[in-house]
Chains A and B, each alone.
Chain A
Amino acid sequence: MKLSREEVVHIAALARMGMSEADIEKAREQLSNILENFEVLKEVDTADVPPTAQSINLQNVMRDDIAAPSLPAEDIMANAPDREEDLFKLRAVLDLD
């Protein structure tokens, strides 16, 4: 099964991954090749097998809600690509046109 160009573009859009034309063609080739190797899983009968999401026997982990100091805002903001005072500065998320 070979992925179509449209499928690759669709996945890239879901992942918000920018891609050049060359990237798309290469991804088509390599992802198809990898997916082909996943086909072998079809031969395993898993009709009565529950899925494993993680390997430890923990369910929801609860803890008391204890107030504690957070990191200083300045420490967090020091890595911000763009800021205004103690806020991360982004461009408009909603396109209002």
Chain B
Amino acid sequence: MNSTNNLYNLTVHEAHELLKAKKVSSVELTQACLDHIKRVEPKVCAIVTVTEEVALQKAREADERIAQGKIAPLTGIPTLIKDNMCTRGIRTTCSSKMLENFIPPYNATVIEKLGAAGMVLIGKANMDEYAMGSSTENSAFFTTHNPWDLARVPGGSSGGSAAGVAASEALFALGSDTGGSIRQPAGFCNVTGLKPTYGRVSRYGLVAFASSLDQIGPLTKDALDCALVMNVISGYDRRDSTSASESVPDYTKGLPHDLKGMKLGIPKEYFVEGMQSEVESAIKVAIQQLEKLGAKVEWGVSLPHTKYALPVYYIIAPSEASANLARYDGSKYGFSYKDTESMWEGMEKTKQFGFGPEVKRRIMLGTYALSAGYYDAYYLKAQKVRTLIRRDFDAAFEKYDALVTPTSPTVPFKIGEKTDNPLQMYLSDVCTLPINIAGVPAISIPAGFVHGLPVGMQIIGKPFSEPTLFKVSHAYQQVTDWHKRTAKL
């Protein structure tokens, strides 16, 4: 292979063909990624723990499996996992001081499934602490840099996963998405990222943030890879009682080259005030491309409760977080502050020094919203408006197969630009939050560049319509090459 076609630049499906034909071994592919990580990681800072020994061991096992003719689509593929998914025997930090030395005694279901498929775990990806943030600047360890401009954020909270794939440190990654944490960084880093339908992928072993909103999904170099990963990680799991029992189709089947017969709606509320005009223009061009592919596009669709999604989200997510994170009391695992007079004081100091500012802010906010006297005004009210937001989507999906919007109102912002103003940071997720509130699936795909920075297009579907999202994305990627552009590092 020549230098412009390095192994680490391959997609999953391209690498699979080479592995299957025994033109390349998983050890060679894995070593190529590990060497590349050594070169680019000092610039990108996407990985909390590089699992070099585990990776090479798994690569050798994959090669044995391939020699026996037992190759599956993800066998031998170097993979990056967001550091909030439990990996047995491998440190899982949530990019928090609280879990800095936590070694999980079990695997998340997605890790078990990928492991059975022959995945090569190459590292645990950096993130905003406990997945709370939109830039990775809330990581307790370091900030990840956007491969397209190292002075800018990669988005968050799955910023390490997105930047790692964009920098070709791994062939694909898993992230988690509570309010946009897969799609916003995917858009910022020019990769494909899917937030599946709530319940489609088991959350067992995912460190809980907001349980009614959290969902695991893939970050990949194209839609076909995304479908391949979803084939492996989707499905019912008895250990996650909110996982869905709907059967899992083969997501790679029937991906078309055109969109004839597809009805797409463009919700006007997602072209928000304060949106960068160049981003708006880029998305409009991308939508015209979908039209050229044969889709029937209708502009001016209204989801009237969209503007309430931000406050609803920032009541519900912190409320659930305040309950979920109460477990970090320094008694069973994680950081424990011991130098105090009493047990209660020790618990308070454990939280004070174990959590970073944004996590503490959200615990406080959620505690307030759930506290006596405020529950009805905040939490219950937010749950009722959540119903109205869901109904908006239900009504839209009676008319349209999918909705198309920008993933973010802006291109990636500069590191440090929004850290002093939590509300400004929250606004960067304004196009992605409503999707988690409604529990529907949405994908972000590369859709252009503005001043050399990526723009993501979000495609939203009804529950369990992942096949529709893959159809639109794949057809678009057959006639565009945004997703093939790689950052120069």
Check B378 against A53 for contact (C-beta < 8 Å): no
Check A49 against B388 for contact (C-beta < 8 Å): yes
Which residues of chain A are near B351, meaning CB under 8 Å?
15-18
Check A30 against B352 for contact (C-beta < 8 Å): no
Which residues of chain A are near B334, meaning CB under 8 Å?
79, 81
Check A51 against B368 for contact (C-beta < 8 Å): no
Which residues of chain B are near A61, meaning CB under 8 Å?
241-242
A to B CB contacts below 8 Å, 21 in the list:
A15-B326, A16-B348, A17-B367, A18-B348, A30-B361, A34-B423, A37-B423, A38-B314, A41-B311, A42-B381, A44-B388, A46-B381, A46-B387, A51-B383, A52-B386, A55-B440, A75-B105, A76-B105, A81-B336, A90-B331, A91-B342
Q: Could you tell me the distance in whole angstroms from the C-beta of A29 to the nearest C-beta in chain B?
A: 11
Which residues of chain A are near B387, meaning CB under 8 Å?
46, 49-52
Asked whether B470 is an interface residue with its Cβ less than 8 Å from the other chain, the reply is no
How many residues from B make CB contacts under 8 Å with A? Answer: 66
Residue of B with least CB distance to A47: B384
Q: How large is the interface on A (under 10, 10 to 19, 20 to 34, 35 or more residues)?
A: 35 or more
Check B385 against A31 for contact (C-beta < 8 Å): no
B433-471 vs A, CB cutoff 8 Å, 1 = contact: the mask equals 000011110000000000000000000000100000000
Q: Could you tell me the distance in whole angstroms from the C-beta of A42 to the nearest C-beta in chain B?
A: 8
Q: Could you tell me the distance in whole angstroms from the C-beta of B224 to the nearest C-beta in chain A?
A: 28
Which residues of chain B are near A78, meaning CB under 8 Å?
103, 105
Enumerate B352-395 residues with CB–CB distance to A below 8 Å.
352-353, 360-361, 363-365, 367-368, 371, 378, 380-388, 390
Enumerate A11-25 residues with CB–CB distance to B below 8 Å.
11-12, 14-20, 23
Known contacts A44-B385, A53-B383, A54-B242; A38 and B332 CB within 8 A of each other: no
Check B332 against A17 for contact (C-beta < 8 Å): no
Known contacts A15-B364, A17-B360, A79-B332; A53 and B308 CB within 8 A of each other: no
